[in-house]
Amino acid sequence: MGWKLAVLLLAVLVKDAHAVCNCYQAGNYTGATAPISNSYNTTDFSACFSSACSYVAYSGDDTKGWTYFTFNWAAPLAGAGGLLQIFDGTPDLSSTLPPALIQINEGENVDSSSPKYMIKSTSPRITIKYSQSSTTSANVYYGSIKAVPGLQPTAGPTSTTAMPTTRTFNHPEYNHDLALITHDILVVVNQKTSGGITALTQLDTIATNFVRLLDVTTDINSAGSSRLALATLTPYQPYYAIRGEIWGMDATDVTNNLPLSGVSIEGKIDSALTGLVNLSFNVSTNTSTDSRRNVQRSVILLTAEWPSANANLAADIQSAFDAKGVNLLVVGFNLTTVEWNQLSGGDNRWYNVLNAVGSNDTAVAQFVNPFYFNDKSSPNTWCPQFPVTNSPDESYMYFQEPFNYNGPSNTTNDKWKDPFDGQSTRYCNFANNQYTYTNPNGNGLQVKVFYELEAGKDFLKFYDSSNNLIASFTGFEVTGSIFSTTSSTITARFTSDNQSVFRGFYVQITPQ
């Protein structure tokens, strides 16, 4: 049929009693670009609606998955309550539908600036389905989705923490292979130390033992691996020095450029960190030094002392990090009791902190396991869990993730902010969080969920009091998904893999 037909489908709607409503894609499809468009009348190509229209698109190559999704609704819209859904694989559409890989409600367009443009399937086959509430009018719409290389040629199950490499890793200190870490990481070393060259050498060794086990890339378009940059603190404005190309360094580059001598004059740590985060963590500025959209971002500051002035890490520093979606970890080496109390004190500390007594793998694992692998062995300020909270009018309970979630909810707004640049307010890798609520009156519950999760990799699942699965969500939801349960107790479990973090979820639970 080709795309000439898609243009013809923009014609004015015409009703004909003798016309036959044909699906645009009448049968299953094999090819590199799957077309998506409305059903049409055979007489004049005007839009019509046939409830039987869905099809399976196969890339033709089991190593190719589906991405680069674009979609447009032609104006004026029919007001038909249209819904386009794309499912990973080939589910049975005649039974209860699984969570959609992506769904688009009437009126929502998707182009290259939309986060949905980069939706990725985990299968070489997808199922495309259109439905609507109206039986008297029909929408005009058109789009496409492309098949590109990137799938592993295997029929085995997909692990939620799939290794980015095929190497075997077995280390008693680490919970996972450090090659699984997917961050843009800025390593910062404070050259001022009263411990002399011995302390500076220990800091350099901590940095070396950390980065040497990472899987490093310089590709801005990569979904896996970590990217690296290195800076040192200096006593002169702007109080930092870049030691290599931002996001263009490998582990050897970092190791070879670590400072070999210290300084004796105190710099300004607060000013340096603010300058570094604003310089290094910009998203979508169309340069090779962009920070990636959907990865975690972290600054690890290595220091053998903590000054009493110019290093408060107060609210203004936090605001600079939050605006860029960056996490901060301060790793001290043999800090004094006074220094440690100043750095670690306070109930509202927004950064992670560790006082290392060594520089070997044991010392590195003390911050990698709780903070980069999020294993809950220590409180992780990067990924605090939001409590199940009563609404102001006490009519419902809610929880969300990330803690600073900025998407739609019933109490603030009902739309995602698009286009989203991935700069801030995203959840964490290696999440494994549980939320439980029990209705005090013993009745059932109604649940509404807004979510934007990595499709097929990150899951929000709901269980009843007998631990039976009630609902499972992955991918994107634009207007909120609602379900009910007769169970008076509900438990939600959120898990994320080692790659690609998105805007998260908001859950509202209303007792019945």
Query: CATH number of the domain that 221 lies in?
Result: 3.40.50.410
Whether 338 is covered by a domain: the verdict is yes
- Residue 160: inside a domain, yes or no? no
The reply to whether 199 and 271 lie within a common domain is yes
Q: Are 461 and 394 part of one and the same domain?
A: yes
Are 332 and 444 members of one domain? no
Question: Rounded to an integer, what distance in angstroms lies between the CA atom of residue 53 and that of residue 130?
Answer: 7
In a domain, 384, yes or no: no
Angstrom distance (rounded) from CA 510 to CA 512: 6
pLDDT tens profile 337-356: 999 999 998 767 999 999 99
Handedness of CA 119, 120, 121, 127 (dihedral sign): positive
Segment 468-493 mean pLDDT: 91
Does 195 share its domain with 337?
Answer: yes
Q: pLDDT digit string (tens) for 396-418? A: 999 999 999 998 987 566 678 77
Average pLDDT over residues 376-393: 94
Residue 219 in domain: yes
Claim to verify: residue 97 and residue 34 sit in the same structural domain: yes
| Count of CB atoms situated within 10 Å of the CB of 348 | 7
Average pLDDT over residues 188-197: 90
Residue 152 vs residue 333, higher pLDDT: 333
Q: Residue 389 phi/psi, 5° resolution?
A: -120, 140
Statement to judge: residues 189 and 137 lie in one domain:
no
CATH number of 474's domain: 2.60.120.290
Half-sphere exposure of 311 toward its Cβ, with a 13 Å CA cutoff?
22
Total structural domains within the chain? 3
Model pLDDT, residue 257:
87
Residues 352 and 258 in one domain: yes
What is the reported pLDDT for 265?
84
Q: Where are the extended beta strands (E) located within 376-473?
A: 389-390, 397-401, 432-438, 445-452, 459-463, 469-473
Residue type, 263: V
| pLDDT over threshold 90, residue 207 | yes
What's the whole-model pTM score? 0.71
pLDDT for position 245: 83
380 in any annotated domain: no
Question: Which residue range is the domain that position 430 belongs to?
Answer: 389-511
- Reported residue count of the chain is 512
Q: Per-residue DSSP letters for 33-69?
A: EEEEE-EEETTT--EE--TT-EEEEE-SSTTEEEEEE
Mean pLDDT value across residues 14-29: 73
> Is 223 in the same domain as 337?
yes
Residue 221 lies in a domain: yes
Same domain, 242 and 324: yes
Q: Looking at residue 390, what is its pLDDT? A: 95
Is the domain of 201 the same as that of 335?
A: yes
* Whether residues 121 and 220 fall in one domain: no
Calculated CA dihedral for residues 162, 165, 168, 170, nearest 10 degrees: -60
Q: How confident is the model at residue 162 (pLDDT cuts 50, 70, 90)?
A: very low
Residue 407 domain-assigned? yes
Token duo for residue 213 = 């086990």
